[in-house]
Structure 1
Amino acid sequence: MPQEYQLRRVTASDLPLLRRWRRMPHVIEWWGPPEVEPEEDKLADRRIAMWLVELVGRPFAFAQDYDPHAWSPHPFSHLPPGARGIDQYIGEPQMLGCGHGAAFVREHCNRLFAADAPVIGTDPHPDNTRAIRAYQKAGFSVASEPQETRWGRAILMERWRHR
């Protein structure tokens, strides 16, 4: 049976939940300590759209999308205008390893494509094989060798709307 994921905008009232998730070891492993890019700062940054991902009305994951051309330099600056970058994590540990990551990422991408994004990029750490597999299942292809970015070591992955 297909799952229905709802993405809703993060509000200030969601910050305690996001802070709790950011302190969890499985999130810290790939996102770094909670004081790196705190949610309060990102919520105030108009360049970033922040989302809570819900399943049956229950939040379990965080997603964000952004215009990579709003930062210079950015690893996705080679992408055409209208491109979006995405980042996400599953906050609730019991939801890991169940296929939710690939499914909600696919849904998020479909929403961005419907809003005319020509391509979407994501940049997992090369050692984060779980994320890389989920992105591949969601339609992404590896577009680079591992590289150092200002946000850490990453491989670039892209999903094009019409390819």
Structure 2
Amino acid sequence: MSDYAFRPITRADLAMFKDWLAQPHIDGWWGDGGTEARLVEEDMDKDVVDMRIAQHNGTDFAYIQDYNAHAFGAPQYADQPKSARAIDTFLGDPAFLGQGHGAGYIAARVAELRRHFPCVLTDPDPANLRAIAAYTRAGFVPLDIRPCEDGDLVQVMRHA
């Protein structure tokens, strides 16, 4: 049994979410906390993105979301199956860094997703070596580097 659980994010979590985004280890990989929290809050009442707080033995420590890879017209996923899911995530609580939790919770969540979706994708920044390493340890394999909707390059990865 996994030590990881995933509960839906709530408005009560937004202050914690913003605090996590202000942590130095996340700097530059996600937008500022206020903007990202506003976007998450806007999406809470829609049925497009499944947004979760990851917990380890009951302690909140990370954020993970998944959605249809084609829902937002992401060109980096254009050649992937129509039913593919894409994930985005960050480990927020710095006390959980360097202990294997990144790969652990990603693998646990992807195992849940793979029961319903045969293809799970992600697209970290190619310079975010920590994220790429965690995704690799969680069973993702790199496909190639492609431009995303804003023109930035991303490392497209698919769960094996």
User: Which TM-score applies when normalising by structure 2?
Assistant: 0.89
Matched pairs, number: 157
Contiguous gaps of at least 5 residues in structure 2: none
Q: Where in structure 1 do 4 or more consecutive aligned residues deviate above 2 Å?
A: 34-39, 41-46, 150-153
- The residue number in structure 2 matching 1:96 is 97
What is the identity percentage for the equivalent residue pairs of Structure 1 and Structure 2? 32
1:12-161 equivalences in 2 (<5 Å):
12-38=11-37, 39-115=40-116, 117-145=117-145, 147-150=146-149, 152-160=152-160
Contiguous gaps of at least 5 residues in structure 1: none
Alignment deviations for residues 66-121 of structure 1 (CA, whole Å, 9 cap, x no partner): 10121124321321122100011110012111100111111111000112x01111
Q: d(CA) in 2 for partners of 1:40 and 1:32?
A: 15
How well do the aligned residues superpose, as a CA RMSD in angstroms? 1.7
Residues 19, 33 of structure 2: 8 Å contact kept: no
Q: Does 1:4 align with 2:8?
A: no
- The one-letter amino acid of 2:101's match is H
